[in-house]
Amino acid sequence: MTANPAPPLRADARRNRERLLAGAATLISARGADVPMEEIAQHAGVGVGTLYRRFPDRHSLIRELAADMFRRGIAIAEADPGGLTGWDALVRLVRFCGEPELGALASALRPWLAEHRDADAELRDLTMTWLDRFERTVRRAQDEGAMRADIDGADLLNFISLVSCRMPELSAEASRDATARYLEIVLDGLRV
Amino acid sequence: MTANPAPPLRADARRNRERLLAGAATLISARGADVPMEEIAQHAGVGVGTLYRRFPDRHSLIRELAADMFRRGIAIAEADPGGLTGWDALVRLVRFCGEPELGALASALRPWLAEHRDADAELRDLTMTWLDRFERTVRRAQDEGAMRADIDGADLLNFISLVSCRMPELSAEASRDATARYLEIVLDGLRV
DNA sequence: GATAAACGGACGATCTTCTTCCACTTGTAT
DNA sequence: ATACAAGTGGAAGAAGATCGTCCGTTTATC
């Protein structure tokens, strides 16, 4: 099992795959992990057949979405620009969580993850790594005495995920703006 | 149309009606406005027939739930214990919003309300009255200079509703606790 | 004890979504 | 330019879920 032959995708197929993932993320953020496969295909401008050829079932599509999301979060947490105080690093991280591609998607995937995470080793690992990176940042800020100590990383992540959820009755931009504003208030509330 | 004959319900029927409403509120808070009617009936310990006899369709059931919810919120906002500063009145009101019967239900009904509110005059009125009472309290706190001025009542209500949503992966008590804790942080963030 | 109200839950109808399949199209290597 | 393997769209059959009705039985009330 050292190397899968993995025939490279044709150019158009790769393009469609990207479109499917991006479109699915948007759609799922707004409507939950159970949007019809047909809509996901339509939204990406392809037929359902194409969707099913690339992802054999809904599970494998969402799995991919979730994994990407965690990887992005971890990458951001690890890409410390340097010279930041713990508090500033936390602020930076929380603001990134306000981005729809992270926060809104994470919110929408919550129920799905709660149900499927445990059955998938890689996903479990990614979850734990992401949580660890987040907690590390929180602890730094707390150790400095800059952040209130009565809430831990997991709890804060949970909190943020509630606030970051996509509000479908608002436009995409309005929803994103609202989330950003609310997160600033949360940050104010976290300051000692 | 001055008076509807409205034959009074038999005692057992009235009891079942209450159970249905209470159970539906709990179930819908956790799973959204589209839980199967059958489950709602089961949860209340009655058959679907009974549910449908009392509420001819899902719409009329949810309508009732929503109206009750607004009435409770309005009653609380209007029951000022007196002698409170604007800020303290706001804190009191926000904490009430953390109660599952208000906040979690409001969160769950959001999508439904967004779609059906406009077609129902009474519901529209209740929404506006509730919003008005809430905004009034917010403005009092802001006029005192106790609360940040860059967020208005409607926006804060929206914010609170995100935070108050039932977290189904947690037990009812844990979810309620978490909401309460998060709201305290929000309140801290709202303080000037 | 009579009677009207209320009850439960099986059932047929309807609607939704999944997933497969195959005739047709397109990228790519020669 | 050509051939062919890879890719595509979308119709259609299968599977399931949910709705709301109906009626024989139970129960509150007088």
Q: Indicate which CATH number applies to the domain containing A165.
A: 1.10.357
Tens-digit pLDDT profile for residues B90-101 = 999 999 999 999
Tens-digit pLDDT profile for residues A81-99 = 888 999 999 999 999 999 9
B127 within domain boundaries: yes
Is there a contact between B158 and A181 if contact means CB atoms under 8 Å apart?
A: no
Number of domain units in chain B = 1
Residue A6 burial by Cβ neighbours in a 10 Å radius (0-12, 13-18, 19+): exposed
B112 within domain boundaries: yes
Range of the domain at A144: 59-190
Q: Which residues of A touch B185 (CB under 8 A)?
A: 148, 151, 159, 186, 189-190
**Considering Cα of B37, then B40, then B41, then B42, what sign does the dihedral take?**
positive
Distance between CA atoms of residues B104 and B117, nearest Å? 18
Is there a contact between B186 and A185 if contact means CB atoms under 8 Å apart?
A: yes
Distance between CA atoms of residues A102 and B85, nearest Å? 40
Distance between CA atoms of residues A36 and A47, nearest Å? 13
A148 within domain boundaries: yes
Tens-digit pLDDT profile for residues A50-85 = 999 999 999 999 999 999 999 999 999 999 888 899
Band the pLDDT of A5: cuts 50, 70, 90: low
A5 within domain boundaries: no
Q: Are B94 and B183 in contact (CB under 8 A)?
A: yes
Identity of the residue in A151, A162, A169 whose CB atom sits nearest the CB atom of B163: A162
**Region B45-52: what's the mean pLDDT?**
98
